A and B are shown apart, each in its own frame.
Chain A
Amino acid sequence: MSHSIHLHSNVTIRRGRILRRDFLKAIPAAAAATGLLSWQDLLLANAPALRKSGKACILLWMQGGPSQFETWDPKPGHSNGGETKTIKTPVAGIEISENLPKVAASMGDLCLIRSMNGKEGQHPRATFLMHTGYLPSPAVKYPTLGSLVAKELGDPASDLPSFVRIGAGQGANASAMGSAGILGVDFDPLTMAAAGRPPENTSLATDERRFQRRMNLLDRLQGDYANQGGQEVVGDHQKIYAQASRLVLSPKMTGFDLDKEPQNIKEAYGSGPFAQGCLLARRLIETGVTFVEVALGNWDTHQDNFNRSRTLCGQLDQPFAALLADLKGRGLLDSTLVLCTGEFGRTPRINPNSGRDHFPRAFTSVLAGGGIKGGQTIGCTDSGGDAVQDRPVSVNDLLRTVCHSLAIDPDKQNMSSVGRPIKIVEGGEVVKAAFA
């Protein structure tokens, strides 16, 4: 009996989260199949799984290392602060840069960790560290956060992949964002150059009828090879092809279609690739995807920092605020952790090109949703932003905090190919104060 409960729960739960409509539809069938159980029984039987799997995560990746002075930790009145002014938020005592007026209005949902503290000052290494909690190594392909979360919380039976990465671009800093590594390709991100188009190669090259005809022919033609020593190879291949065709034919693919959104929602997010990415993130979370990473690039402001940061903040501000409001409005914010961070911050000293250089020693990461207590700051920097003054938070502290929010055991070990156990997060402490 418990076996059939398990089976039904897998059918009923997408990414472990109950989709209300699916659930109501599925219950009578489940009850009929088991013959005895009421839906309350089923719910109780699955309660632990449901709690855990209700969780999802959105990572807003600020590629290049945003200046904390021009975003979350301005220092007006100090020479390091430059021309950036502050703006008040609804939370007494917390001010952020005037470059982010809409996000400032959402301060009640945000927790600013102003005491991020590290030492990696090279983009790819710091990017890899922030995503994996480890420095790159030739011996072990450390898995990236999205893959770790997908493995722990994703629904293996889902049509869609559990981890989608949007707008990361190409090149060094994109590849340093990492992949599933030792966890295996099942947990690799589905990468999309941009929102607004279906993911690569998911549009059928022919009509559906002809596609099915081809799949049928393929099946029939593989028999001989399978019988001549290729049975395993063909078996694996058929499994992957079945999954791939399930993906392209899935009704859930509409999750990728932004045209399905009402105009007022689209307008709320604003325009531009990052706005579209944030809107898509929400749609995908709703469809059952576990982890969505949306990148906003070009924060590497060695020159003309103030103007460029202002422009970039303009791209971040409205979509970020809209995403929080939208998740909240749909009752998804409590179960969805939003993390906004770059790989490091920027120097207090303003260089001769009106720029700021790499600075991992003191910067800000932002958390919201997922049980995070909003309207607060954690830690602080000194008056000139030169050093962390209170409660330094390391990358691994931050990752451990993410795990805590998602109810993932950070000490769980995954095995590397040479049989070395690798903890999800090595060391570090949960920032307890971040939680309500």
Chain B
Amino acid sequence: MVALKYLFSLSLILPVGVVLSAAAQSADTPAKAAAKADQLLRSEVPFATPGKIAPTPIDDERFLRRVSLDIIGRLPTPEEVTAFALDPAADKRAKIVTKLLADPRYGQNWGRYWRDVIMYRKTEERQQFLLGIPLDSYLADSFNSNKPWSQIATEFITASGNANESGACGLIVAQQGQPEEIVGEVSRIFLGVQIQCAQCHDHPTDRWTREQFHQLAAFFPRVATRPNRQGGVAREISIVATDVDTQRFGQRPMNMRFAGTLEHRMSDPKDPQSEGKVMQPVLFATGNKLPIGTRDADRRGSLAKWITEKDNPYFAKALVNRIWAEFTGEGFYEPIDDIGPDRQATAPKTLEYLAGQFAETGYDVKWLFETIAATQMYQLPSSPRRDSDEEPMQHNVAQRLRADQVFDNILLVLEASESAAPPGMPGPAARFIRGPRQLFTTAFGYDPSARRDEVQSSIPQALALMNSPLITGALRGSGNTMLARKLAAIKADPALVQELYLRVLGREASPSELTTCLQFVKQLPNRTEAFEDILWSLINSAEFLHRS
């Protein structure tokens, strides 16, 4: 009887997107929601300016650069900068946001973002399994087709089968199929609750108990990841579910886990060798529970349903908080994935409103991007990250670009191409060969969930930009390069300086910068060398590495 009931509940999960998008009608439009959010925000956190007057929003050049980097992860081209500046339409900022969200690079950029969110916390290190997972393309497709956030979450939580065929397997595989690690990540990513701190003892600063953590882990005991062996070689990995007793497999050797267990047990810290207590699956956030003995598909299906339900107080807020922080440089809650009930939000009503509306749209991710990008808050000038005694949310904050964004922009501005893999490395070894993007990612990558002011620059980053063969070759002023073409096409030095500024920094040079560059060119006997040096300096500038 029980089993039937939960089988039924599982069947409710699949059409969730359809059901919710019907509800989208009742949500405010992005423009209206943005205005409402700004109004609420300023009632909660007034401007600290004399007369509480809003600062002047950024100009078109800066807006276009900011929004292009935020949505598609790329700088606008010089042509796009010019066209946008000349466009007389009053609603051109809203229109460009819509246009950028329709660009396939939107999904690619945010797919890589979420891949990093998941993979920077991976405990699985076996790259032969990780590299095969189409996580990037799964996420890119999901965002480009504007799959509801609830559906994306559901697919990650309920993923099964060969990970090489389903990117949604990525989250579970990244945690080696270990229930305790998986639920820590599910809770952190989708609910913004750091319940994993309660794994060993009751949460030190939140209300969650160790028991609640293990009740959450009890949604995943039957899950495991298992290498698929073909001819003795394991190249792929699958998520498998175990709904029959696996005792016959006996003691697992050397802490390896190839099959699940029927129930999750919470170990006794006083007696770690004992079997531990069987835990019932209960979702701490809502109190929803399942009986012992429930099948894996029903456990995970029910969990996904309860996590993504509108009643869940955390699901919508977690994403709104994260995207707001990415777009404005300051989250309502920080760190962005720690929004539990014992945390204080800056401007809670603003967050409440946006999260409510986001849920109302059926978790329409593009709606959320459009709304935040339309706020006055988003369009404020950038200043350094505030000190803790300064008023919150008074300005935007420059954010370090992520590794893929830096790499893509280098390719874009230098018109260089990315070779998929170094030549001369055929066969299975190619799986482990890292191309220039991967080498770059090693130096420039960071965990997107980390506080941005704690993300440090490093010497290898500077060395890569200063000296790497990729950049050194691509910024040469001779041969078949971007600079060589521009040197030939643009004979006037001031115009060439402006072209490079537009291209690399998405803006024109200021009068003083122009003067500095022209003097520099004049001092050198060789025009090509001089412009190589200017281009080098722009590529190596702090501004190039940040979205301001």
Interface residues of A (CB under 8 A from B): 119-125, 127-128, 135-139, 161, 170-173, 175-176, 184-186, 188, 190, 200-205, 210-211, 213-214, 217-218, 220-225, 228-234, 236-238, 240-241, 243-245, 247-248, 358, 360, 417-420
Pick the residue among A136, A170, A188, A244 that contacts B466 (CB under 8 A).
Answer: A244
Listed by A's residue number, 11 A-B pairs whose Cβ atoms lie within 8 Å are: A120-B254, A122-B255, A123-B126, A125-B255, A136-B125, A138-B123, A139-B197, A173-B125, A205-B466, A217-B516, A241-B540
Given A172-B128, A224-B510, the answer on whether A184 and B123 have CB atoms closer than 8 Å is: no
B254 touches A360 (CB 8 A): yes
Chain B residues 106 to 144 lying within 8 A of chain A, measured CB to CB, are: 121-128
Query: In the complex the two chains form, what is the Cα distance from A139 to B398 in whole Å?
Result: 26
B residues near A247, Cβ cutoff 8 Å: 459, 463
CB A234 to nearest CB in B, in angstroms, measures 5
Given A201-B468, A205-B467, A420-B197, the answer on whether A139 and B184 have CB atoms closer than 8 Å is: yes
CB B116 to nearest CB in A, in angstroms, measures 13
B432, B434, B454, B537 — most chain A CB neighbours (10 Å): B537
Contacting chain A: which of B80-88, B348-356, B376-384, B478-486?
B376-384
Query: In the complex the two chains form, what is the Cα distance from A119 to B254 in whole Å?
Result: 5
CB B215 to nearest CB in A, in angstroms, measures 18
A residues near B274, Cβ cutoff 8 Å: none
B255 touches A119 (CB 8 A): yes
Tell me whether B418 is interfacial, beta carbon within 8 Å.
no
Query: In the complex the two chains form, what is the Cα distance from A223 to B515 in whole Å?
Result: 13
Tell me whether B450 is interfacial, beta carbon within 8 Å.
yes
CB A129 to nearest CB in B, in angstroms, measures 10
B126 touches A172 (CB 8 A): yes
Pick the residue among B181, B398, B433, B472 that contacts A137 (CB under 8 A).
Answer: B181
Tell me whether B48 is interfacial, beta carbon within 8 Å.
no
Q: Is the interface of A mostly helix, strand, loop or mixed?
A: helix
A229 touches B462 (CB 8 A): no
Proximity string of chain B (356-399) to chain A, C-beta cutoff 8 Å, 1 when within and 0 when not: 00000000000000000000000001111100000000010010
Query: In the complex the two chains form, what is the Cα distance from A417 to B455 in whole Å?
Result: 11
Given A128-B125, A138-B175, A172-B126, the answer on whether A418 and B466 have CB atoms closer than 8 Å is: no
A128, A200, A419 — most chain B CB neighbours (10 Å): A200
Q: A139-B184, A210-B533, A231-B384 are in contact. List 8 more A-B contacts (CB 8 A).
A: A120-B255, A121-B253, A122-B254, A188-B458, A228-B381, A229-B395, A233-B546, A237-B457
B residues near A173, Cβ cutoff 8 Å: 125
Tell me whether B451 is interfacial, beta carbon within 8 Å.
yes
B463 touches A202 (CB 8 A): yes
Tell me the nearest residue of chain B to A126, going by C-beta. Answer: B254
Tell me the nearest residue of chain B to A232, going by C-beta. Answer: B384
Query: In the complex the two chains form, what is the Cα distance from A233 to B546 in whole Å?
Result: 8
Tell me the nearest residue of chain B to A231, going by C-beta. Answer: B384
B residues near A120, Cβ cutoff 8 Å: 254-255
A205 touches B472 (CB 8 A): yes
The 9 A-B residue pairs with the shortest CB-CB distance in the complex, in nearest-first order: A121-B254, A124-B125, A138-B121, A237-B542, A244-B462, A201-B463, A136-B123, A205-B472, A232-B384
Given A188-B458, A233-B398, the answer on whether A170 and B432 have CB atoms closer than 8 Å is: yes
A138 touches B451 (CB 8 A): no
A240 touches B533 (CB 8 A): no
A221 touches B461 (CB 8 A): no
Pick the residue among A172, A186, A214, A224 that contacts B533 (CB under 8 A).
Answer: A214
Interface size class of B (residues with CB under 8 A): 35 or more
CB A79 to nearest CB in B, in angstroms, measures 21
A202 touches B467 (CB 8 A): yes
B residues near A241, Cβ cutoff 8 Å: 462, 466, 540
B residues near A161, Cβ cutoff 8 Å: 459
Query: In the complex the two chains form, what is the Cα distance from A94 to B78 in whole Å?
Result: 74
Proximity string of chain B (69-110) to chain A, C-beta cutoff 8 Å, 1 when within and 0 when not: 000000000000000000000000000000000000000000
B residues near A234, Cβ cutoff 8 Å: 542-543
A residues near B433, Cβ cutoff 8 Å: 170
A120, A138, A188 — most chain B CB neighbours (10 Å): A138
B398 touches A203 (CB 8 A): no
Query: In the complex the two chains form, what is the Cα distance from A230 to B544 in whole Å?
Result: 12
A121 touches B256 (CB 8 A): yes
Tell me the nearest residue of chain B to A243, going by C-beta. Answer: B459
B384 touches A139 (CB 8 A): no
Tell me the nearest residue of chain B to A244, going by C-beta. Answer: B462
Tell me whether B338 is interfacial, beta carbon within 8 Å.
yes
Query: In the complex the two chains form, what is the Cα distance from A221 to B128 in whole Å?
Result: 45
A137 touches B123 (CB 8 A): yes
A residues near B472, Cβ cutoff 8 Å: 205
Given A224-B510, A233-B546, the answer on whether A121 and B255 have CB atoms closer than 8 Å is: yes
Query: In the complex the two chains form, what is the Cα distance from A237 to B467 in whole Å?
Result: 16
A230 touches B548 (CB 8 A): yes
CB A166 to nearest CB in B, in angstroms, measures 15
B459 touches A240 (CB 8 A): yes
Proximity string of chain B (439-459) to chain A, C-beta cutoff 8 Å, 1 when within and 0 when not: 000000000001100101111
Proximity string of chain B (508-522) to chain A, C-beta cutoff 8 Å, 1 when within and 0 when not: 001011001100100
Tell me whether B545 is interfacial, beta carbon within 8 Å.
yes
Tell me the nearest residue of chain B to A210, going by C-beta. Answer: B533
Pick the residue among B197, B205, B398, B461 that contacts A230 (CB under 8 A).
Answer: B398
B381 touches A229 (CB 8 A): yes
A211, A217, A238 — most chain B CB neighbours (10 Å): A217
A residues near B467, Cβ cutoff 8 Å: 201-205, 248
Tell me whether B407 is interfacial, beta carbon within 8 Å.
no
B463 touches A244 (CB 8 A): yes
CB B410 to nearest CB in A, in angstroms, measures 14
Tell me whether B321 is interfacial, beta carbon within 8 Å.
no
A residues near B545, Cβ cutoff 8 Å: 237
B541 touches A225 (CB 8 A): yes
Given A205-B472, A229-B384, A360-B254, the answer on whether A244 and B537 have CB atoms closer than 8 Å is: no
B537 touches A172 (CB 8 A): no
Query: In the complex the two chains form, what is the Cα distance from A312 to B395 in whole Å?
Result: 60
Given A231-B384, A232-B384, the answer on whether A217 and B537 have CB atoms closer than 8 Å is: yes
Tell me whether B460 is interfacial, beta carbon within 8 Å.
yes
B434, B456, B463, B512 — most chain A CB neighbours (10 Å): B463
Pick the residue among A172, A190, A218 that contacts B127 (CB under 8 A).
Answer: A172
Chain B residues 245 to 276 lying within 8 A of chain A, measured CB to CB, are: 253-256
CB A372 to nearest CB in B, in angstroms, measures 29
Chain B residues 123 to 174 lying within 8 A of chain A, measured CB to CB, are: 123-128, 174
Query: In the complex the two chains form, what is the Cα distance from A284 to B385 in whole Å?
Result: 39
Tell me the nearest residue of chain A to B464, going by C-beta. Answer: A201
CB A146 to nearest CB in B, in angstroms, measures 15
Given A217-B534, A234-B542, the answer on whether A138 and B196 have CB atoms closer than 8 Å is: yes
A residues near B541, Cβ cutoff 8 Å: 218, 221-222, 225, 237
Query: In the complex the two chains form, what is the Cα distance from A176 to B123 in whole Å?
Result: 9
A residues near B538, Cβ cutoff 8 Å: 221
Chain B residues 206 to 245 lying within 8 A of chain A, measured CB to CB, are: none
A residues near B128, Cβ cutoff 8 Å: 171-172
Tell me whether B185 is interfacial, beta carbon within 8 Å.
yes
Tell me whether B46 is interfacial, beta carbon within 8 Å.
no
Tell me the nearest residue of chain B to A224, going by C-beta. Answer: B510
Given A224-B512, A420-B197, the answer on whether A218 and B121 have CB atoms closer than 8 Å is: no
A residues near B460, Cβ cutoff 8 Å: 188, 190, 200-201
Query: In the complex the two chains form, what is the Cα distance from A190 to B462 in whole Å?
Result: 13
A residues near B123, Cβ cutoff 8 Å: 135-138
